[in-house]
Chain A
């Protein structure tokens, strides 16, 4: 069956450290994988997209990798700040032209 898993439900790290979040999927062959941030009571906010033929994508303090052999994407936040505390969701395209499916999310807490 198709499944998306994110490494842990919650992750606590110290301010200034690098946070690494994992997204693993089974029985999907996505051409695109997206990462979103969601704050409590709000809708998700799009952060980054990576294509199947891209190994790595960066945007400011954010970095995403995509390994289609391992069926895994890693999401890194460097020099993390308390303001980065939120739930982070990965999403991938179910099939070409079809809807995106979301992982369960990882709740990140950056401690001062």
Chain B
């Protein structure tokens, strides 16, 4: 079966712009989590969506937002980009209630560079 698909794979944006990243989970997976990965901070949790509702949220400013659609696809948006937002953004999906027991399936990520 197809894995978690993230688009685009690479993105270069200018400071102050906004960006939208997309994630298509594995078919049947209704939970989608987003993580930011940087060399200094490692993997940091952004938020989790389940059945179009945000279920958990990490400690990121309000410039970071997300949503989930009825087909479980998810998008995250970052407004007013800062240089420090340059990172690998990873999406992970899991079947309902099984992520903690069966692990999460990650996409290959979107590499965002803010210049």
Name A's B-contacting residues (CB within 8 A).
31-32, 34, 36, 41-47, 49, 89, 93, 98-105
Please choose the segment from B13-21, B62-70, B75-83, B96-104 that sits at the chain A interface, where 4 or more of its residues have CB less than 8 A away: B96-104
Residue on B nearest A92 in the bound complex, by CB? B100
A34 to B102, CA, bound (A): 9
Hey, which chain A residues are within 8 Å of B107, CB to CB? 43
B100 A93 Cβ-Cβ under 8 A: yes
With A43-B90, A43-B108, A105-B42 given, is the CB distance from A99 to B33 under 8 Å?
A: yes
Name B's A-contacting residues (CB within 8 A).
4, 33, 35, 42-43, 45, 48, 56, 58, 88, 90, 92, 99-109, 111
Report the minimal beta-carbon distance from A33 to chain B, rounded to whole angstroms.
10
Residue on A nearest B105 in the bound complex, by CB? A46
